[in-house]
């Protein structure tokens, strides 16, 4: 299942603003081009987030993510 940012934020319990922060800070781990679960947009495209991989990332990195969101 592929999500857009709004659905991923809803499932993660984050605001879109906070999710964009997570996507930026953790890009090296999340970028699909580097084995992650997020397709980063370029040329007018949109983020695409692979749901199972993203949920796994959120679970495995919850503490780090919450520290970044709190900043």
Q: For residue 38, what are the CA distances in angstroms to 2, 55, 62, 67, 70?
A: 9, 11, 17, 21, 22
Q: Each residue of 14-68: pLDDT tens digit?
A: 999 999 999 999 999 999 999 999 999 988 899 999 999 999 999 999 999 999 8
Q: How many CB atoms lie within 10 A of CB 60?
A: 11
DSSP 3: E
Given this model, what pLDDT does residue 43 score? 86
pLDDT at residue 71 is higher than 90? no
Given this model, what pLDDT does residue 69 score? 87
């Amino acid at each position: 299942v592929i999500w857009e940012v709004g659905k991923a934020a809803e499932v993660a319990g984050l605001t879109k603003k906070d999710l964009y922060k997570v996507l930026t800070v953790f890009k090296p781990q999340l970028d699909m081009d580097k084995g992650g679960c997020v397709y980063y947009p370029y040329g007018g495209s949109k983020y695409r987030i692979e749901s199972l991989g993203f949920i796994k990332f959120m679970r495995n990195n919850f503490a780090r993510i919450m520290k970044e969101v709190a900043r």
